[in-house]
Amino acid sequence: MAYLFTSESVSEGHPDKVADQISDALIDNFLAFDKESKVACETLVTTGQVILAGEVKSTTYLDVQKIARDTINKIGYTKGEYMFDGNSCGVLSAIHEQSQEINQGVDRGSKEEQGAGDQGMMFGYATNETENFMPLALDLSHRILLELAELRREEKDITYLRPDSKSQVTIEYSDDNVPQRIDAIVVSTQHDDFDEDEAMLAKIRKDIVEILIPRVVAKLPEAIQKLFNSDITYHINPTGKFVIGGPHGDTGLTGRKIIVDTYGGKGAHGGGAFSGKDPSKVDRSAAYATRHIAKNLVAAGVADEILVQVSYAIGVVEPMGIFVDTYGTCPFNLTDGEIAEKVSEIFDMRPFAIEERLKLRSPMYSETAAYGHMGRKNETITKSFSQPNGENITLDVELFTWEKLDYVEKVKTAFGL
């Protein structure tokens, strides 16, 4: 029997994502001036206030207030009427030095013997139902909000948009797990105040259905475009008026959108958030590494859908183990255990090896903090950073290195494909 599956996304202006972006901007600035920085930084945002807390071990000094304000302004919170804007909000820092008891389990005489920054299990997932090997419902949810943000910044076709928004997509699947059609789309977007609520709701619905969605569909592969039809159920701002939003409407915290950040409910999640953590924290680095493994395995044809789990003990170099689930989609006479054994031979999952393989000690993290950490475009961009003493640095930074299909041939050779 056919079934429905749903995933959601939230915009860069969602309060939890504002917090994530501030935390990751701090990570980038620390790594830009000291690649060996150890950082665990949490952010809370609410009406007119930003609170920074966490632990840092670094040789650099930063103006954390300026970094937070610049991040908020870049997102689009630039007006006092939002009750939260980068120029006027208060910024309180309670960041302190990292505990030596934690650090002694990570830093070793040899970098290759670096221990895991924490215990826990991390998951990576990939499916061939989309070109970027991501679950379709989540991919579409992200695309809707990315396009909505473009419309907001253009200030041309839709001029009343504010930064906070959410989306949700429900897809009907066949018994053999193939997407059949888009069943429902939910979009809630913050907006300027209108004189009449009913007229406002009608205009927002019309603009979302007739301007936003066609722009999203036009950028999709033809096979995915065919899943859109006139029978889609739309819920546009279903609660009505949405003027009060962002950190004024709802307090935001770093790390509260871990399913949005990963696979939209597909696969599994170990529970650890990413933003605000340097790559010695395996919550982040090993989650990227397992995505890299899963994507390369699916691209190589090992299976149509793969989940990879790795687990660690704090301060221990080697992982506790690697688990693989192909959901019965492996076309060869191989068990999931046999696949996991080969994976452990191909990919070095020691924390330092992951950092080196994926170039994780470069300031690449601000770009991950909204619209998902997985399924994004691997590209190199130029980024600039400044310190309070006037020192400036410009770096070429490769983004989303875990999305590279650079191990496909190695996987094919190992599996005899």
**Residue 368 DSSP label:** G
Look at residue 109 in the predicted model and tell me its pLDDT. 58
- Residue 242 annotated as binding site: yes
Work out the burial of residue 37: count CB atoms within 10 Å of its CB; fewer than 13 is exposed, 13-18 middle, 19 or more buried. buried
- Residue 8 annotated as binding site: no
8 Å CB contact between 236 and 195? no
3-state SS assignment for residue 410 = helix
**Residue 116 DSSP label:** B
Contacts of 25 (CB under 8 A, 6+ apart): 67, 68, 70, 71, 366, 369
- Residue 241 annotated as binding site: yes
Order of strands across the sheet that contains 179-191 = 3-10, 161-173, 179-191, 233-236
8 Å CB contact between 269 and 342? no
**Residue 344 DSSP label:** H
Distance, in Å, from the CA atom of 289 to the CA atom of 308, rounded to the nearest integer, reads 10
Q: Which two tokens stand for residue 314?
A: 């704090």
pLDDT tens, position by position, 22-79: 999 999 999 999 999 999 999 999 999 999 999 999 999 999 999 999 999 999 999 9
Whole-model pTM: value is 0.95
- Residue 42 annotated as binding site: yes
8 Å CB contact between 262 and 56? no
Distance, in Å, from the CA atom of 342 to the CA atom of 383, rounded to the nearest integer, reads 38
- Residue 273 annotated as binding site: yes
- Residue 164 annotated as binding site: yes
Contacts of 139 (CB under 8 A, 6+ apart): 130, 132, 375
Look at residue 155 in the predicted model and tell me its pLDDT. 92
Type and span of the H or E element at 308: strand 305-312
**What are the structural domains of the chain?**
3-9+136-245 (3.30.300.10), 120-127+281-415 (3.30.300.10)
- Residue 362 annotated as binding site: no
Q: Which residue is associated with the tokens 């130029």?
A: 382
297 pairs with which residues across the strands? none
- Residue 226 annotated as binding site: no
Type and span of the H or E element at 381: strand 379-386
8 Å CB contact between 122 and 310? yes
Look at residue 195 in the predicted model and tell me its pLDDT. 82
pLDDT by residue, tens only, the chain of 417 residues: 799 999 999 999 999 999 999 999 999 999 999 999 999 999 999 999 999 999 999 999 999 999 999 999 999 999 999 999 999 999 999 999 876 655 555 655 566 677 787 889 999 999 999 999 999 999 999 999 999 999 999 999 999 999 999 999 999 999 999 999 999 999 999 999 988 888 899 999 999 999 999 999 999 999 999 999 999 999 999 998 999 999 999 999 999 999 999 999 999 999 999 999 999 999 999 999 999 999 999 999 999 999 999 999 988 888 999 999 999 999 999 999 999 999 999 999 999 999 999 999 999 999 999 999 999 999 999 999 999 988 999 999 999 999 999 999 999 999 988
Distance, in Å, from the CA atom of 228 to the CA atom of 284, rounded to the nearest integer, reads 35
- Residue 295 annotated as binding site: no
Number of C-beta neighbours around residue 88 at 10 A: 12
- Residue 16 annotated as binding site: yes
Single-letter amino acid, residue 143: R
**Residue 108 DSSP label:** -
